[in-house]
Structure 1
Amino acid sequence: MVDHGSGRVALVTGGSRGIGAEIARRLAGEGFALTVAARQEAGVTAVVEQLRAEFGVEVLGVVANMAKDEDVARLAAAHEERFGRLDLLVLGAGMGIDEPVAAVRPKAYDLQLAVNLRAPVLLVSQLLPLLRSTAKANPAAGARVVALASITGVAGEAGLAVYGASKAALISFCETLSLEESAGGVSATAVAPGYVDTDMTEHLRDRLDRSAMLTVDDVAELVLSLTRLSAAAVVPTMVVTRAGPQMWRA
């Protein structure tokens, strides 16, 4: 374990591409040491090399499939062994399958719930002692969990019933975590954006122009803003809708 003194440390799941990669990049720019986890080894290797070269920060890469309990446990153990500290846990790994309720497949349901809800709950549970000890050592700042949810967890979207349900549950989980832990300095925030311009929304571009979507920088900026708050400030949910005449829109 490396002694990082007062240097902040973050863990980002889903950190090799899209929103997660941009969050990891912005955190590295703020001087955070990082653990970056993703499912594909090539993606993990690339982002680790990029962050080290661009920002000179310490980065641990962990290949982990969030649908597998053993990988979640291995990730938590690897981070604690390497850093012994956790100021910010970003739950960025997620997946969605576009299918109507009438066509929901049990396998697709199980996979979305495993990645979008079960893995975050297990990872937080396993890392909670580390979050608590970090918050205790740094009472002014505390420690934070940020979960990338979705506006579909706030207002339903046709075709995304299971995805939206998993994100609604994630939002509720964050609220409960703050109720239980914020007095000790650990709080959680669910960031719930509408459609963001990433490879996950590429299939929508025949009906939704990229310029009409949120950017990864929009979401990363919100996450960075949370790291600047004191432990006294608990932010349950940040909902970000796209511009236009409809307020609650994916």
Structure 2
Amino acid sequence: MAPVTAPDISGNADSQPRRSALVTGASRGIGYEIARRLAGQGCELTISARRRDGLLEAVDKLRSEFGVNVHPVVANLANDADVAEVVNAHEGRYGALDLLVLNAGVGAAGTVAELSVKHYDLVLNVNLRSQFLLVQKALPMLRKAAATRPSSGARVVALASITGVAAEAGLSAYGASKAALISLCETLSLEEAANGVSATAISPGFVATDMTAQMDKTVDVDSMLRASDVAELVVALSHLSAKAVVPNIVISRAGPAIWRA
């Protein structure tokens, strides 16, 4: 799907361009909070989401609050053409990419015995295949940014899940997709560290968002992590030097269990 037309309001007269980030699934929840924190750091953004109205509302709020350039792209990451369009839109606007945040994803509850192949395919397609394609297509821009700023390099941050580290019954395909995403980040760092590019998976327990609101009868919303907790870690990772490679960050909810979703 085509990018939404948006004026360039960066107003950056410096000889070296501002850092830029691409954040998927950024119209609400964790993705929006990440985009908001990055905008607060002066980062120029490309943000994507499936729903046009929510995406444009997010863009308006980010521009109004921070005055940075925010480029919206309506995209369904289950579609390969949309995946390519997100990357192409960022390249056309900024040329290089300092930070790729893979936040978009889908969930599907179901045991190994019961989950349909249709739901399995959707989860693996969006949560893993599209993430692989986004990284693959964005690598030339990430390498370019890293060459421009060798001390800081470029980074990929992928929103995985604690279920990718410690399995949870009923989340067979979802947990498998997130475990694979963690492995993808580790492999990317091994292959691209020499080019100044590294990747980190963030694996949180339940985060209080619209997606988890339906779980209020089984999990106390007040006990859940906050989107701001995840966003703070993304910002911190963006400040690290290229020498620092962080494979995976697990964030558990407070409680007696070591791994608590």
**Normalization by structure 2: what TM-score?**
0.94
Contact 2:109-2:115 at 8 Å conserved across structures: no
Question: Cα RMSD over matched residues?
Answer: 1.2
Match of 1:214 among 215, 225, 232: 225
Report the equivalent of 1:113: 124
Say which is worse superposed, 169-178 or 93-102, in terms of deviation.
93-102
Q: Deviations over 1:149-176 (max 9, x none)?
A: 0000000011101000000000000000
Between the two proteins, the alignment pairs up a number of residues equal to 250
Deviations 1:202-221 (A, max 9, x none): 12111211111000011001
Q: Which runs of 4+ in 1 moved over 6 A?
A: 1-4
2:201 aligns with 190
Unaligned runs of 5+ in 1: none
Alignment-mate amino acid for residue 150 of structure 1: S
- The answer as to 2:243 corresponding to 1:223 is no
Aligned to 2:157: 146
User: Would you tell me which structure has more helix in proportion to its own residues?
Assistant: 1
One-letter amino acid of the counterpart of residue 127, structure 2? N
* CA-CA distance at 1:57 after TM superposition: 0.1
C-alpha separation in 2, matches of 1:112 and 1:229: 31
Aligned residue number for residue 31 of structure 1: 42
Q: Structure 1 residue 183: deviation in Å?
A: 1.8
How high is the TM-score relative to the length of structure 1? Answer: 0.98
Aligned mates of 2:175, 2:254 — CA distance in 1? 20
2:108 and 2:119 in contact (8 A); partners too: yes
Structure 1: distance between partners of 2:110 and 2:43:
39
2:245 corresponds, among 230, 234, 247, to 234
Q: Distance in 1 between matches of 2:147 and 2:46?
A: 21
Correspondence for 2:98? 87
Deviations 1:98-152 (A, max 9, x none): 1122211111111101110001100110010010011011000100000000000
Q: CA deviation at 1:6?
A: 3.5
Distance 2:135 2:219 in 1: 35
Percent of aligned pairs with the same amino acid = 60
CA distance in 2, matches of 1:99, 1:249: 19
Selected match of 1:43 from 44, 50, 54: 54
Asked whether the equivalents of residues 168 and 175 of structure 2 are also in contact (C-alpha less than 8 Å), the reply is: yes
